[in-house]
DNA sequence: GAAACGTGGCG
DNA sequence: TCGCCAAGTTT
């Protein structure tokens, strides 16, 4: 059956009207529930692009609560993209330590240097151009363009996926539904206020359309939400079943010289905890090397295993790490840096290594 | 497309 | 205790 042209245009008008309605409802809600966050220091479109970008990089897969102290510290150390571009890698990694996903920090500096050296310190305004920069993917490109420049882009993050999946009862599995959600989000863009719209949709997802315990009664879209109407809100978004995490095990070494200094190594520039500092360690594998085998390189020294082991969970595996204390008799030369215990806190140590160090020091 | 890539909080 | 989850990008 073919619709008449009149019928089609009528449908387009109705669709457009209801989308406008949704957009207006969302923006009205946003105006009443505006959150005061450190990076929201001016109206959308009038923000400092460097600060917007810095916040968006940090907020990738990371909660607002975790980001705030890091954001403030970075801004105080490196107030401009030029300042960050001139920073040393080591200082960036130190300041990022504990925030996780360290490739973000490595790409961030790379991006800052590109902006400073190749773009006269000015961020591109269009999402399409931002997308070419290191560490900036589809989400961040759209977010920076919308929030810093009021560009007509709709960032789609986990909040947006969840909220729109519920609003339209979208059955597609994450993350295959990304294109569909992107089209829905773009269709809802207002004529102006793209930046407010971006923040509004993400705020709605994080504060109202929460993963668990959503507050549907507070939602401006309650009358339009298909999942709510069907009483199946928690069934969206549809997700593939999670894979089981394997457990890997290893030994880390607390190696001290007679003066009490301890040996740290910088990890390789890519891969897990890349470019961060840590205790020397055996590889982390599913089969644990025996104590005797692990201490072979230190056969002439006194070696003692701390009781128990530390547990830590990464994105794709659990880790059980045993700690072996090695007390060297003299100032043996070894690859790495010797650090006084009091100076450990200033090193670029990821959380798992801080945990291992605490375990070694209390044993 | 799938896997790698951190961490801390919450129920 | 433990699985789930949070403002994704890269390879």
Active site amino acids of A: 56
Nucleotides of C under 7 A from a protein CB: 3-10
- Whether any strand C atom is under 7 angstroms from the Cβ of A174: the reply reads no
Domain boundary among A187, A207, A235: A235
Note the CA–C1' distance, A14 to B5, in angstroms.
45
Q: What is the CATH number of the domain that holds A357?
A: 3.90.79.10
How far, in Å, are A163, A178, A266, A282, A325 from residue A248 at the CA level? 36, 32, 21, 11, 21
Which residue lies nearest B10, CA-to-C1' measured? Answer: A212
A234 touches strand B (CB under 7 A): no
Instruction: Let me know if residue A96 belongs to a domain.
Output: yes
Which 113-142 residues of chain A approach strand C with CB closer than 7 Å? Answer: 134-141
Is A241 a member of any domain?
no
Question: Is the same domain home to A162 and A182?
Answer: yes
- A20 and A60 belong to one structural domain: yes
A62 closest-nt by C1' vs CA = C6
A133 domain residue, yes or no = yes
Nucleic strand C near CB of residue A144 (< 7 Å): no
pLDDT of amino acid A296: 87
Cβ of A211 near strand B (under 7 Å)? The reply is no
For strand C, list residues 339-358 of chain A whose Cβ lies within 7 Å of it.
none
Report CA(A118)–C1'(C3) in Å, whole number: 45
| CB A61 under 7 Å to nucleic chain C | yes
> Are residues A13 and A58 located together in one domain of the fold?
yes
Mean pLDDT for all residues in chain A: 92
Q: Which chain B positions have some atom within 7 A of a protein CB?
A: 1, 3-9, 11
Q: Is the CB of A102 under 7 A from strand C?
A: no
Domain identity same for A209 and A259: no
State whether A74 and A137 are in the same domain.
yes
**Per mean pLDDT, which range of A16-20, A119-123, A127-131 is the poorest?**
A16-20
Q: Which nucleotide is nearest to A203 (CA to C1')?
A: C7
Flag whether A98 is in a domain.
yes
Give yes or no: residues A204 and A182 share one domain.
yes
Which nucleotide has the least CA–C1' distance to A104?
A: C9
List all residues 6 or more positions away from A166 whose beta carbon is below 8 Å from its beta carbon.
Answer: A209, A214, A225, A226, A227, A228, A233, A236, A237
Same-domain status, A228 and A322: no
**Residues A145, A37 share a domain:** yes
Distance A112 CA to C9 C1' (A): 17
For residue A240, is it within any domain? no
Residue A355 to residues A101, A239, A294, A319, A336, Cα–Cα distance (Å): 17, 33, 20, 12, 20
pLDDT in tens, A151-184: 999 999 999 999 999 999 998 777 777 889 999 9
Check residues 83 to 142 of chain A and report those whose beta carbon is under 7 Å from nucleic acid strand B: 98-103
Is the domain of A216 the same as that of A266?
no
Average pLDDT of the segment spanning A134-147? 96
Report pLDDT digits (tens) over A50-80. 999 999 999 999 999 999 999 999 999 999 9
Residues A221 and A268 in one domain: no
Q: What per-residue confidence (pLDDT) applies to A3?
A: 44
Q: pLDDT value at position A148? A: 97
Residue A258 CA to residue A309 CA, distance in Å, equals 25
Q: Considering only CA atoms, which residue is closest to the C1' of nucleotide C8?
A: A60
Taking only the tens place, the pLDDT of each residue in A298-330 is 876 789 999 989 999 999 999 999 999 999 988
In a domain, A89, yes or no: yes
Query: What percent of chain A is modeled with pLDDT above 90?
Result: 83
**Is residue A16 very low, low, confident or very high in pLDDT (cuts 50, 70, 90)?**
low
End residue of a domain, out of A184, A213, A235: A235
Residue A230: which CATH number? 1.10.340.30
Residue A285 in any domain: the answer is: yes
- Note the CA–C1' distance, A184 to B7, in angstroms: 32
Q: Are A151 and A90 part of one and the same domain? A: yes
The whole-number Å distance from A2's CA to C10's C1' is 45
pLDDT for residue A302:
86
Boundaries of domain holding A325 = 247-362
Q: Which residue has the higher pLDDT, A18 or A164?
A: A164
Tell me, yes or no, whether A357 lies in a domain: yes
Flag whether pLDDT at A352 surpasses 80.
yes
Cα gap A124→A30, rounded to integer Å? 27
Query: Which H or E run includes A309?
Result: none
Indicate if A280 and A173 belong to the same structural domain.
no
Domain final position from A169, A200, A235: A235
How far is Cα A166 from Cα A81, in angstroms, rounded to an integer? 39
Calpha distance A289→A319 (Å, rounded): 14
Confidence of residue A10 (pLDDT cuts 50, 70, 90): very low
Q: Is the CB atom of residue A168 positioned under 7 angstroms from any atom of strand B? A: no
Total domain count, chain A: 2
The answer to whether A158 CB is within 7 Å of strand C is: yes
């Amino acid at each position: 059956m073919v619709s008449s042209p009149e019928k089609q245009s009528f449908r387009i008008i109705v669709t457009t009207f209801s989308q406008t309605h949704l957009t207006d409802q969302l923006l009205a809600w946003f105006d009443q529930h505006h959150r005061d966050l450190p990076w929201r220091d001016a109206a959308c479109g009038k923000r400092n692009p460097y600060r917007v970008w810095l916040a968006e990089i940090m907020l990738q897969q990371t909660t607002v609560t975790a980001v705030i102290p890091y954001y403030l510290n970075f801004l105080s150390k490196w107030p401009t993209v030029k300042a960050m571009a001139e920073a040393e890698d080591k200082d960036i990694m130190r300041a990022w330590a504990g925030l996780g996903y360290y490739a973000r920090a490595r790409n961030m500096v790379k991006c800052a240097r590109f902006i400073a050296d190749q773009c006269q310190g000015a961020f591109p305004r269009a999402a399409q151009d931002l997308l070419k920069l290191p560490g900036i993917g589809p989400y961040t490109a759209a977010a920076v363009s919308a929030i810093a420049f009021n560009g007509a882009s709709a960032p789609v993050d986990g909040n947006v996926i969840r909220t729109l999946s519920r609003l339209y009862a979208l059955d597609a599995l994450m993350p295959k539904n990304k294109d569909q959600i992107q089209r829905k989000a773009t269709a809802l863009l207002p004529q102006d206020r793209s930046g407010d719209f971006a923040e509004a949709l993400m705020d709605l997802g994080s504060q109202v359309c929460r993963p668990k315990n959503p507050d549907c009664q507070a939602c401006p879209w309650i009358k339009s939400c298909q999942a709510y109407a069907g009483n199946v809100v928690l069934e969206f978004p549809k997700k593939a079943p999670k894979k089981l995490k394997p457990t890997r095990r290893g030994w880390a070494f607390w190696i001290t010289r007679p003066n009490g200094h301890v040996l740290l190594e910088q990890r390789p520039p890519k891969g897990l905890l890349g470019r961060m500092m840590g205790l020397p360690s055996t590889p982390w594998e599913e089969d644990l090397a025996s104590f005797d085998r692990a201490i072979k390189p230190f056969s002439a020294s006194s070696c003692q295993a701390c009781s128990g082991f530390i547990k830590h969970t990464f994105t794709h595996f659990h880790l059980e790490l045993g700690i072996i204390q090695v007390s060297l008799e003299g100032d043996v030369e070894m690859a790495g840096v010797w650090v006084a215990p009091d100076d450990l806190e200033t090193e670029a140590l990821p959380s798992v290594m801080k945990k291992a160090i605490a375990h070694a020091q209390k044993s």
